[in-house]
Amino acid sequence: MKNFVLKIDPLTGEDYYEVYLRGRQLLNNPHLNKASAFTKEERLSLGLDGMLRPGVATLESQLDRTYEAFLRKPDDMERYIYLSGLLDRNEVLFYRLLQDHLDEMVPIIYTPTVGLACMQLSHIQRRFRGIYITPENIANIDQIFHGLSQPQVNLIVVTDGERILGLGDLGSDGMGIPVGKVSLYVAAGGVHPGVTLPITLDVGTNNPRLLEDPLYLGIRKPRLRGAEYEELIEKFVLGVKRNFPGALLQWEDFAKHTAFKNLDRYRERILSFNDDIQGTGSTALAALMTAMRIKKSRFQDERYVIVGMGQAGTGIAMNIRAALKEEGLSDEEARRRIFAVDMQGLLLDDDPQLEGPQEPLAQRRAWVEGWRLDDPSRIGLEDVVRNAHPTVLIGVTAQPGLFSEAILAETAKHSARPIVLALSNPTHKCECTPEAVWKATDGKGLVATGSPFDPMDWKGQTLQASQCNNMYIFPGVGLGALVCKATRVTDGMFLAASRAISEFVTPDQEAMGLLLPEMKDIRRVSASVAKAVGIEARNAGLGRLLDDDQIGAVVTKAQWVPAYPAYRPGTLRYED
């Protein structure tokens, strides 16, 4: 049953929702609930008379009341629970509050607090959001999708919960991530919440803590693997294509062994991308583009050490490789500048553990002959830093303190302004703090981190680290791909997005060391990214044939503003 439809009055030209719910059902629907802001006319026509206190509130007065309640919460977890409850009651009010307090609330609804929330999700669950697909109900996927109450679905964020942030396998408790990503699509990108759908594929868990937890709400079996898992993914994708043929599918927090496979298998078959691979890589590339501008350097003038070659690290390395090749370097010349380190140490071309996407990033064995090593059987991070003389350090390992004082000091010897991207989430998993970088570099280091850190005064100068948050990329990429009706998401679109983000950083921000725009500008950044994606899609023959200004106008028109629309009663019905 569809709960509402957007209509236009042919006589007056007014936009309004034709609403098919009444009374208590309407108050309990988060898409439609206005609470005390229902007008007197709406209360009478929609069966709400007597169910609300007489006073008619404005959205602004509701915001004052809600923010006051938020500030009374004693810690971040309680604030997360409060905001989740608000989202489940009144989406317009939630998104307006979030939009008005982005700097304060993004760390609550997403990193770092969302990681803590996912660790406890079965214990703090109040209402269920989104859809759970399991091996037991996959055969009913059409029926499940037909049961959705929203008029249409244009955007899906899906996880199987196997690699949640830096926390590992959280099973269906990982649903906090798709819910959080959808919230960022709406708040940062302006996607209408009524067309979004978070989904978790609950295929079991190998986490003994969850399997032994009597309150865990997911499937209590080992993870589905092999052909059975791949068959479930195939049925899921086909179900999405049948029911939502124009929707964008974002793969989120899958483990490395499935993330690359799903991306490669489906990127040409359905409008989709993997945020952990492509989004992280594109955001990091934007930060590096700004750093090059600050240093007056080129990508080919730097030497890169990337530690942690999962989907994030591999995605970053692939983006750096693309930037090097764009500057005219050959594959081999690019390879010589990127030193990829994983659990076995430096990746080498004769390593039997190399996986497909890692092969172009591995150093030639002959190139490291003669290096001075602590252990001749393994080339560790310290060896790489000592011998490769990096000017850029990038960490995506979830190993706190990995970039030690000695490693940072060694890196500082080889560049007047070394670049350090310590990107692991949540905060306690970060490879180093910005303060550690600035102390090792006398305030000259350029820093971005996965979670937010406070600015620091250094010898009379305010230094600030950017949060290298994927929300700079994915909301704009998704919005741009949808409004330009792209048939697929390409690497060229992510490169265009990186440029759009970096160009947003002002000279004053660069002087503070910022490599990415400030969070307060995120909706304008997302609009710029969406426009760049639309232009790239058009130029590649994959999107609408609009000129640049028309694409910008369509993007602006598409960005939803959280405000209460007018409601008119419609006849109850179960089909459009």
As a whole number of angstroms, the distance between CA 318 and CA 336 comes to: 14
422 CB contacts (<8 Å, ≥6 apart)? 393, 395, 403, 430, 431, 432, 433, 437, 447, 448, 449, 450
Q: CA dist 385 to 287, 408, 485, 513, Å?
A: 21, 9, 45, 23
- Separation CA 476–CA 150 (nearest Å): 23
Catalytic pick from 17, 20, 110, 304?
A: 110
Among candidate residues 137, 292, 120, the one with its CA nearest the CA of residue 203: 137
Contacts of residue 231, defined as CB under 8 A and 6 or more positions apart, other chains included, come to none
- Catalytic residue flag (residue 567): no
DSSP string covering 248-293: EEEE-S--HHHHHHHHHHHTTTSSEEEIIIIIHHHHHHHHHHHHHH
Has 181 been annotated as catalytic? Answer: yes
* Catalytic, out of 20, 80, 95, 181: 181
CB atoms inside a 10 Å sphere around CB 461: 12
User: In this structure, are residues 199 and 243 in contact, taking their beta carbons and an 8 Å threshold?
Assistant: no
Classify strands 272-274 and 196-201 as parallel, antiparallel or unpaired.
unpaired
Q: How far apart are CA 114 and CA 165, in angstroms?
A: 9
State the helix-helix crossing angle for 474-483 and 176-184, rounded to 10 degrees. Answer: 70
Place of tokens 């309407």: 26
- Bridge partners of residue 133, in order along the sequence: 201
**Catalytic residues, which ones?**
110, 181
